Protein backbone atom coordinates (compact mmCIF):
# COMPACT_ATOMS: atom_id res chain seq x y z
CA UNK A 1 0.00 0.00 0.00
CA UNK A 2 1.43 3.39 -1.03
CA UNK A 3 1.65 6.46 1.17
CA UNK A 4 -1.39 8.08 -0.45
CA UNK A 5 -3.50 5.04 0.34
CA UNK A 6 -2.33 4.78 3.94
CA UNK A 7 -2.96 8.50 4.48
CA UNK A 8 -6.48 7.96 3.23
CA UNK A 9 -6.95 5.05 5.59
CA UNK A 10 -5.71 7.12 8.51
CA UNK A 11 -8.35 9.72 7.67
CA UNK A 12 -11.08 7.09 7.39
CA UNK A 13 -10.15 5.62 10.75
CA UNK A 14 -10.07 9.10 12.30
CA UNK A 15 -13.57 9.80 11.00
CA UNK A 16 -14.81 6.54 12.53
CA UNK A 17 -13.42 7.38 15.97
CA UNK A 18 -14.52 11.05 15.89
CA UNK A 19 -17.74 10.51 17.89
CA UNK A 20 -15.83 8.67 20.62
CA UNK A 21 -13.27 11.49 20.75
CA UNK A 22 -16.05 14.01 21.32
CA UNK A 23 -17.57 11.79 24.01
CA UNK A 24 -14.19 11.42 25.77
CA UNK A 25 -13.61 15.16 25.58
CA UNK A 26 -17.01 15.96 27.09
CA UNK A 27 -16.53 13.41 29.86
CA UNK A 28 -13.12 14.85 30.71
CA UNK A 29 -14.48 18.39 30.57
CA UNK A 30 -17.21 17.50 33.03
CA UNK A 31 -14.73 15.74 35.34
CA UNK A 32 -11.53 17.85 35.37
CA UNK A 33 -8.64 17.24 37.77
CA UNK A 34 -5.93 19.64 38.88
CA UNK A 35 -2.17 19.18 38.41
CA UNK A 36 -0.79 16.04 40.07
CA UNK A 37 -4.34 14.92 40.87
CA UNK A 38 -5.23 13.38 37.49
CA UNK A 39 -6.20 10.02 38.99
CA UNK A 40 -9.41 9.32 37.08
CA UNK A 41 -8.17 10.91 33.87
CA UNK A 42 -5.11 8.66 33.89
CA UNK A 43 -7.27 5.61 34.63
CA UNK A 44 -9.54 6.39 31.67
CA UNK A 45 -6.53 6.79 29.38
CA UNK A 46 -4.74 3.65 30.58
CA UNK A 47 -7.87 1.50 30.30
CA UNK A 48 -8.39 2.68 26.74
CA UNK A 49 -4.78 2.05 25.73
CA UNK A 50 -4.87 -1.45 27.23
CA UNK A 51 -8.02 -2.13 25.25
CA UNK A 52 -6.14 -1.33 22.05
CA UNK A 53 -3.67 -4.13 22.72
CA UNK A 54 -0.58 -1.95 22.80
CA UNK A 55 2.76 -3.58 23.51
CA UNK A 56 3.07 -1.74 26.84
CA UNK A 57 0.99 0.65 28.94
CA UNK A 58 3.13 2.28 31.62
CA UNK A 59 1.35 4.11 34.43
CA UNK A 60 2.21 6.09 37.55
CA UNK A 61 5.02 7.98 35.84
CA UNK A 62 5.93 11.21 37.67
CA UNK A 63 2.63 11.04 39.48
CA UNK A 64 -0.15 10.06 37.12
CA UNK A 65 1.65 10.03 33.77
CA UNK A 66 0.76 7.34 31.25
CA UNK A 67 2.84 6.15 28.30
CA UNK A 68 1.50 3.69 25.75
CA UNK A 69 4.04 1.91 23.55
CA UNK A 70 3.01 0.74 20.07
CA UNK A 71 5.70 -1.13 18.15
CA UNK A 72 4.95 -1.27 14.46
CA UNK A 73 5.54 -4.51 12.58
CA UNK A 74 6.42 -3.19 9.11
CA UNK A 75 10.01 -4.05 8.16
CA UNK A 76 12.96 -1.70 7.78
CA UNK A 77 11.26 1.33 6.24
CA UNK A 78 11.72 3.45 9.35
CA UNK A 79 15.39 2.63 9.93
CA UNK A 80 17.64 5.55 10.75
CA UNK A 81 21.21 5.95 9.65
CA UNK A 82 22.41 4.36 12.89
CA UNK A 83 20.25 1.30 12.30
CA UNK A 84 17.65 1.83 15.04
CA UNK A 85 13.98 2.25 14.26
CA UNK A 86 12.47 5.73 14.48
CA UNK A 87 10.41 6.53 17.56
CA UNK A 88 7.81 9.31 17.61
CA UNK A 89 6.50 10.60 20.94
CA UNK A 90 3.00 12.08 20.66
CA UNK A 91 2.24 14.14 23.74
CA UNK A 92 -0.97 15.38 25.38
CA UNK A 93 -1.33 17.12 28.75
CA UNK A 94 -4.13 16.05 31.08
CA UNK A 95 -4.47 18.56 33.93
CA UNK A 96 -7.08 21.25 34.46
CA UNK A 97 -7.03 24.70 36.07
CA UNK A 98 -8.38 26.28 39.27
CA UNK A 99 -10.82 28.33 37.17
CA UNK A 100 -14.63 28.43 37.29
CA UNK A 101 -16.28 26.97 34.19
CA UNK A 102 -18.45 29.53 32.42
CA UNK A 103 -18.19 28.05 28.91
CA UNK A 104 -21.98 27.65 28.73
CA UNK A 105 -21.97 24.05 27.49
CA UNK A 106 -24.28 21.46 28.98
CA UNK A 107 -21.18 19.45 29.92
CA UNK A 108 -19.60 22.33 31.86
CA UNK A 109 -17.70 21.41 35.00
CA UNK A 110 -19.20 21.87 38.45
CA UNK A 111 -16.19 20.32 40.20
CA UNK A 112 -14.71 21.95 43.29
CA UNK A 113 -11.46 20.60 44.74
CA UNK A 114 -11.64 21.30 48.46
CA UNK A 115 -8.35 19.59 49.33
CA UNK A 116 -5.93 21.11 46.83
CA UNK A 117 -3.22 23.30 48.45
CA UNK A 118 -4.55 26.84 48.73
CA UNK A 119 -8.10 25.77 47.91
CA UNK A 120 -10.94 25.11 47.74
CA UNK A 121 -10.90 25.78 43.99
CA UNK A 122 -13.47 25.48 41.23
CA UNK A 123 -11.90 23.30 38.53
CA UNK A 124 -12.26 23.44 34.75
CA UNK A 125 -10.48 22.61 31.53
CA UNK A 126 -10.15 26.29 30.67
CA UNK A 127 -6.93 25.61 28.74
CA UNK A 128 -8.26 22.79 26.55
CA UNK A 129 -6.28 19.85 27.91
CA UNK A 130 -9.46 17.79 27.75
CA UNK A 131 -9.27 18.24 23.99
CA UNK A 132 -5.60 17.25 23.88
CA UNK A 133 -6.19 14.07 25.88
CA UNK A 134 -9.24 12.98 23.88
CA UNK A 135 -7.52 13.69 20.57
CA UNK A 136 -4.48 11.59 21.48
CA UNK A 137 -6.73 8.75 22.66
CA UNK A 138 -8.30 8.89 19.20
CA UNK A 139 -4.92 8.92 17.49
CA UNK A 140 -3.87 5.86 19.49
CA UNK A 141 -6.99 4.11 18.20
CA UNK A 142 -6.17 5.03 14.61
CA UNK A 143 -2.50 4.05 14.73
CA UNK A 144 -3.12 0.79 16.60
CA UNK A 145 -5.31 -0.19 13.66
CA UNK A 146 -2.43 0.14 11.20
CA UNK A 147 0.44 -1.20 13.30
CA UNK A 148 1.31 -3.68 10.54
CA UNK A 149 2.21 -0.69 8.36
CA UNK A 150 4.25 1.20 10.97
CA UNK A 151 8.01 0.70 10.56
CA UNK A 152 8.90 2.07 13.97
CA UNK A 153 7.52 2.83 17.42
CA UNK A 154 4.90 5.29 18.66
CA UNK A 155 4.87 6.55 22.24
CA UNK A 156 1.52 7.94 23.36
CA UNK A 157 2.53 10.30 26.16
CA UNK A 158 -0.19 11.54 28.52
CA UNK A 159 1.46 14.06 30.82
CA UNK A 160 0.28 15.33 34.21
CA UNK A 161 0.92 18.74 35.75
CA UNK A 162 1.66 20.79 32.64
CA UNK A 163 0.15 23.79 34.40
CA UNK A 164 2.66 23.32 37.20
CA UNK A 165 2.31 21.17 40.33
CA UNK A 166 1.93 22.64 43.82
CA UNK A 167 5.27 24.19 44.78
CA UNK A 168 5.93 21.49 47.39
CA UNK A 169 5.61 18.74 44.74
CA UNK A 170 7.43 17.62 41.60
CA UNK A 171 5.64 17.04 38.33
CA UNK A 172 5.32 17.76 34.65
CA UNK A 173 7.32 16.90 31.55
CA UNK A 174 10.75 17.20 33.16
CA UNK A 175 9.69 14.86 35.95
CA UNK A 176 8.58 12.30 33.34
CA UNK A 177 11.97 12.58 31.64
CA UNK A 178 13.79 12.15 34.95
CA UNK A 179 11.61 9.14 35.76
CA UNK A 180 12.95 7.41 32.64
CA UNK A 181 9.76 7.59 30.59
CA UNK A 182 11.77 8.17 27.40
CA UNK A 183 14.82 6.03 28.10
CA UNK A 184 13.63 2.93 26.26
CA UNK A 185 12.97 3.56 23.48
CA UNK A 186 14.43 7.04 23.03
CA UNK A 187 12.29 9.26 20.77
CA UNK A 188 13.66 10.53 17.49
CA UNK A 189 10.87 13.13 17.39
CA UNK A 190 8.34 14.70 19.76
CA UNK A 191 5.09 16.22 18.55
CA UNK A 192 2.11 17.88 20.14
CA UNK A 193 -0.61 20.42 19.54
CA UNK A 194 -2.49 23.01 21.55
CA UNK A 195 -6.04 24.20 20.94
CA UNK A 196 -6.20 27.96 20.55
CA UNK A 197 -8.54 30.88 19.67
CA UNK A 198 -7.96 30.60 15.91
CA UNK A 199 -10.31 29.75 13.05
CA UNK A 200 -11.67 26.23 13.32
CA UNK A 201 -9.46 23.67 11.64
CA UNK A 202 -6.54 26.05 11.06
CA UNK A 203 -3.07 24.92 12.04
CA UNK A 204 -0.66 27.57 13.26
CA UNK A 205 3.09 27.19 13.45
CA UNK A 206 6.07 29.38 14.16
CA UNK A 207 9.74 29.02 13.27
CA UNK A 208 11.65 29.86 16.43
CA UNK A 209 10.08 30.19 19.86
CA UNK A 210 6.45 29.13 19.67
CA UNK A 211 6.19 29.81 23.41
CA UNK A 212 8.40 31.80 25.75
CA UNK A 213 10.55 30.87 28.72
CA UNK A 214 8.80 30.92 32.08
CA UNK A 215 9.43 30.68 35.78
CA UNK A 216 7.21 30.92 38.84
CA UNK A 217 8.28 33.56 41.37
CA UNK A 218 7.56 33.68 45.10
CA UNK A 219 8.29 36.90 47.02
CA UNK A 220 8.03 37.01 50.82
CA UNK A 221 8.16 40.45 52.43
CA UNK A 222 8.67 40.36 56.19
CA UNK A 223 8.02 43.14 58.69
CA UNK A 224 7.12 43.15 62.39
CA UNK A 225 3.58 42.39 63.49
CA UNK A 226 1.84 44.99 65.60
CA UNK A 227 -1.62 46.35 66.38
CA UNK A 228 -3.05 48.58 63.68
CA UNK A 229 -3.43 51.45 66.16
CA UNK A 230 0.34 51.67 66.81
CA UNK A 231 2.11 51.21 63.45
CA UNK A 232 5.26 52.98 64.71
CA UNK A 233 5.89 50.08 67.07
CA UNK A 234 6.14 47.56 64.25
CA UNK A 235 7.20 47.34 60.59
CA UNK A 236 4.41 47.31 58.05
CA UNK A 237 5.28 45.11 55.03
CA UNK A 238 2.41 46.54 52.96
CA UNK A 239 4.15 49.76 51.77
CA UNK A 240 7.07 47.64 50.55
CA UNK A 241 4.65 45.35 48.73
CA UNK A 242 3.04 48.38 47.11
CA UNK A 243 6.44 49.65 45.97
CA UNK A 244 7.25 46.25 44.48
CA UNK A 245 3.95 46.05 42.61
CA UNK A 246 4.46 49.55 41.23
CA UNK A 247 8.10 48.99 40.36
CA UNK A 248 7.40 45.79 38.44
CA UNK A 249 5.62 47.91 35.87
CA UNK A 250 8.92 49.59 35.04
CA UNK A 251 11.07 46.48 34.67
CA UNK A 252 10.31 46.21 30.98
CA UNK A 253 12.18 49.51 30.46
CA UNK A 254 15.35 47.98 31.87
CA UNK A 255 15.74 45.29 29.19
CA UNK A 256 15.67 45.45 25.40
CA UNK A 257 12.31 46.51 24.04
CA UNK A 258 12.82 44.32 20.96
CA UNK A 259 12.33 41.05 22.90
CA UNK A 260 9.20 41.10 25.06
CA UNK A 261 9.23 40.24 28.75
CA UNK A 262 6.53 40.38 31.36
CA UNK A 263 6.38 39.99 35.13
CA UNK A 264 2.93 39.31 36.53
CA UNK A 265 1.87 39.01 40.17
CA UNK A 266 -1.28 36.91 40.14
CA UNK A 267 -1.82 36.31 43.86
CA UNK A 268 -1.17 38.29 47.06
CA UNK A 269 -1.36 36.35 50.30
CA UNK A 270 -1.55 37.83 53.80
CA UNK A 271 -2.44 36.24 57.13
CA UNK A 272 -4.13 38.60 59.58
CA UNK A 273 -7.20 40.72 60.11
CA UNK A 274 -8.35 44.28 59.60
CA UNK A 275 -6.80 45.73 62.76
CA UNK A 276 -3.45 43.93 62.68
CA UNK A 277 -0.34 44.89 60.74
CA UNK A 278 0.82 41.42 59.74
CA UNK A 279 4.28 39.91 59.85
CA UNK A 280 4.56 38.73 56.24
CA UNK A 281 3.00 39.18 52.82
CA UNK A 282 3.63 36.63 50.06
CA UNK A 283 3.41 37.47 46.37
CA UNK A 284 3.03 34.74 43.74
CA UNK A 285 3.67 35.46 40.11
CA UNK A 286 5.35 34.52 36.87
CA UNK A 287 8.20 35.83 34.74
CA UNK A 288 7.97 35.32 30.97
CA UNK A 289 10.64 36.07 28.38
CA UNK A 290 10.42 35.72 24.61
CA UNK A 291 14.16 35.04 24.58
CA UNK A 292 15.47 32.66 27.22
CA UNK A 293 18.77 34.53 27.58
CA UNK A 294 16.85 37.51 29.04
CA UNK A 295 15.56 35.47 31.98
CA UNK A 296 18.64 35.82 34.20
CA UNK A 297 18.73 39.60 33.76
CA UNK A 298 15.00 40.02 34.48
CA UNK A 299 15.35 37.88 37.60
CA UNK A 300 18.35 39.90 38.76
CA UNK A 301 16.51 43.18 38.36
CA UNK A 302 13.34 41.86 40.00
CA UNK A 303 15.32 40.58 42.97
CA UNK A 304 17.06 43.96 43.31
CA UNK A 305 13.72 45.78 43.17
CA UNK A 306 12.20 43.55 45.85
CA UNK A 307 15.12 43.64 48.27
CA UNK A 308 15.73 47.38 48.00
CA UNK A 309 12.02 48.25 48.22
CA UNK A 310 11.73 46.20 51.39
CA UNK A 311 14.85 47.80 52.86
CA UNK A 312 13.50 51.28 52.13
CA UNK A 313 10.59 50.58 54.51
CA UNK A 314 12.63 48.75 57.14
CA UNK A 315 11.40 45.32 56.07
CA UNK A 316 13.24 42.33 54.59
CA UNK A 317 12.40 40.18 51.60
CA UNK A 318 13.30 36.95 49.86
CA UNK A 319 12.76 36.03 46.22
CA UNK A 320 12.58 32.46 44.90
CA UNK A 321 12.36 31.32 41.28
CA UNK A 322 10.67 27.94 40.87
CA UNK A 323 9.49 25.56 38.13
CA UNK A 324 11.59 26.99 35.30
CA UNK A 325 10.35 26.01 31.85
CA UNK A 326 12.41 26.58 28.69
CA UNK A 327 10.80 28.01 25.55
CA UNK A 328 9.13 25.79 22.99
CA UNK A 329 11.49 26.16 20.04
CA UNK A 330 10.50 24.97 16.58
CA UNK A 331 13.64 24.83 14.45
CA UNK A 332 13.46 25.76 10.77
CA UNK A 333 14.46 22.31 9.48
CA UNK A 334 11.77 20.55 11.55
CA UNK A 335 9.09 23.00 10.42
CA UNK A 336 10.13 22.65 6.79
CA UNK A 337 9.97 18.88 7.09
CA UNK A 338 6.54 18.98 8.70
CA UNK A 339 4.78 21.52 6.48
CA UNK A 340 3.79 19.02 3.75
CA UNK A 341 2.15 16.85 6.42
CA UNK A 342 0.38 19.77 8.08
CA UNK A 343 -0.90 21.04 4.72
CA UNK A 344 -2.12 17.61 3.69
CA UNK A 345 -4.15 17.33 6.89
CA UNK A 346 -5.56 20.86 7.24
CA UNK A 347 -5.36 22.14 3.64
CA UNK A 348 -2.70 24.48 2.31
CA UNK A 349 -4.71 27.66 2.92
CA UNK A 350 -5.38 26.66 6.54
CA UNK A 351 -1.75 26.26 7.61
CA UNK A 352 -0.48 29.67 8.69
CA UNK A 353 2.43 31.16 10.57
CA UNK A 354 1.48 32.62 13.94
CA UNK A 355 2.93 35.46 15.96
CA UNK A 356 5.00 35.12 19.11
CA UNK A 357 3.45 34.52 22.51
CA UNK A 358 4.64 34.69 26.09
CA UNK A 359 2.58 31.68 27.02
CA UNK A 360 4.55 28.62 28.10
CA UNK A 361 4.24 24.87 27.68
CA UNK A 362 6.61 22.34 29.15
CA UNK A 363 6.41 20.20 26.03
CA UNK A 364 9.59 22.19 25.45
CA UNK A 365 11.35 19.61 27.65
CA UNK A 366 10.59 17.00 24.98
CA UNK A 367 10.97 19.01 21.79
CA UNK A 368 14.26 20.44 23.05
CA UNK A 369 15.69 17.01 23.88
CA UNK A 370 14.42 14.90 21.02
CA UNK A 371 13.62 17.29 18.19
CA UNK A 372 10.22 17.75 16.63
CA UNK A 373 7.71 20.57 16.86
CA UNK A 374 4.57 21.90 18.52
CA UNK A 375 1.67 23.47 16.63
CA UNK A 376 -1.57 25.29 17.32
CA UNK A 377 -5.02 24.00 16.34
CA UNK A 378 -7.78 26.56 15.89
CA UNK A 379 -11.05 25.64 17.61
CA UNK A 380 -13.15 28.81 17.75
CA UNK A 381 -15.59 30.87 15.68
CA UNK A 382 -13.04 33.11 14.00
CA UNK A 383 -11.54 34.20 10.75
CA UNK A 384 -8.25 35.89 9.88
CA UNK A 385 -8.19 39.57 9.00
CA UNK A 386 -5.98 41.14 6.34
CA UNK A 387 -3.00 41.16 8.69
CA UNK A 388 -3.44 37.49 9.58
CA UNK A 389 -4.85 38.08 13.05
CA UNK A 390 -7.84 36.10 14.28
CA UNK A 391 -11.08 38.07 14.64
CA UNK A 392 -14.53 36.79 15.66
CA UNK A 393 -17.09 35.90 12.98
CA UNK A 394 -20.51 37.49 13.04
CA UNK A 395 -23.03 35.50 15.02
CA UNK A 396 -20.39 33.24 16.56
CA UNK A 397 -19.30 32.65 20.12
CA UNK A 398 -16.47 35.15 19.92
CA UNK A 399 -12.78 34.81 20.64
CA UNK A 400 -11.95 33.66 24.16
CA UNK A 401 -8.38 33.09 25.28
CA UNK A 402 -7.14 30.03 27.13
CA UNK A 403 -7.37 30.27 30.94
CA UNK A 404 -10.48 32.43 30.68
CA UNK A 405 -13.57 30.97 32.44
CA UNK A 406 -15.49 31.34 29.14
CA UNK A 407 -12.92 29.46 27.02
CA UNK A 408 -14.56 27.05 24.59
CA UNK A 409 -13.51 24.61 21.88
CA UNK A 410 -15.51 23.35 18.91
CA UNK A 411 -16.01 19.57 19.09
CA UNK A 412 -16.13 19.13 15.31
CA UNK A 413 -12.54 20.38 15.04
CA UNK A 414 -11.11 17.61 17.21
CA UNK A 415 -10.93 15.09 14.37
CA UNK A 416 -8.38 17.36 12.70
CA UNK A 417 -6.21 16.93 15.79
CA UNK A 418 -6.54 13.15 15.56
CA UNK A 419 -5.45 13.27 11.92
CA UNK A 420 -2.51 15.54 12.71
CA UNK A 421 -1.12 13.10 15.28
CA UNK A 422 -1.66 10.09 13.02
CA UNK A 423 -0.16 11.64 9.87
CA UNK A 424 2.83 13.12 11.71
CA UNK A 425 3.56 9.77 13.33
CA UNK A 426 3.32 7.78 10.11
CA UNK A 427 5.32 10.28 8.08
CA UNK A 428 8.12 10.40 10.65
CA UNK A 429 8.36 6.63 11.01
CA UNK A 430 8.56 6.17 7.26
CA UNK A 431 11.21 8.83 6.88
CA UNK A 432 9.06 11.44 5.13
CA UNK A 433 9.10 13.84 8.09
CA UNK A 434 12.69 14.27 9.12
CA UNK A 435 14.92 17.37 8.90
Reduced to 3 states, what is the DSSP secondary structure of residue 309? helix
Note whether 375 and 420 are within 8 A (CB).
Answer: yes
The answer to whether the annotation marks 163 as part of a ligand binding site is: yes
The answer to whether the annotation marks 194 as part of a ligand binding site is: yes
Note whether 107 and 26 are within 8 A (CB).
Answer: yes
Cα–Cα distance between 159 and 270 in angstroms, integer? 33
> Rounded to the nearest 10 degrees, how much is the dihedral formed by the CA atoms of 341, 344, 349, 352?
-20
Helix, strand, coil percent values for the chain (each to nearest 5) = 35, 30, 40
Note whether 284 and 266 are within 8 A (CB).
Answer: yes
Cα–Cα distances (Å) from 129 to 114, 163, 235, 410, 432, in that order, read 21, 10, 45, 13, 29
Note whether 362 and 374 are within 8 A (CB).
Answer: no
Cα–Cα distance between 292 and 290 in angstroms, integer? 6
Cα–Cα distance between 6 and 50 in angstroms, integer? 24
Reduced to 3 states, what is the DSSP secondary structure of residue 99? coil
Note whether 162 and 95 are within 8 A (CB).
Answer: yes
Cα–Cα distance between 151 and 154 in angstroms, integer? 10
Known binding residues: 127, 129, 163, 194, 403
Residue positions in the annotated binding site for Mn(2+)?
127, 129, 163, 194, 403
Amino acid sequence: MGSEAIHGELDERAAKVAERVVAWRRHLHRHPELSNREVNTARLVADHLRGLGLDEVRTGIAGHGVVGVLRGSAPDGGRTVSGGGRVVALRADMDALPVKDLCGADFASEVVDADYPGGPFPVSHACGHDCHTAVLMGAATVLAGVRDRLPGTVLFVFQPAEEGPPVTEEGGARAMVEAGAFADPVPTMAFGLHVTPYPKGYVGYRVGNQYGASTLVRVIVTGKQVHGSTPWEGIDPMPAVGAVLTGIGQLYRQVSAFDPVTVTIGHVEDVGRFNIIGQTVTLWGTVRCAVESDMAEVQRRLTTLVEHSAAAYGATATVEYLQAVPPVHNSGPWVEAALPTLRRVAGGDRVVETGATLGYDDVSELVGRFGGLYVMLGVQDATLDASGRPVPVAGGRGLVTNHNPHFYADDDTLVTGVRLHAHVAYDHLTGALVP
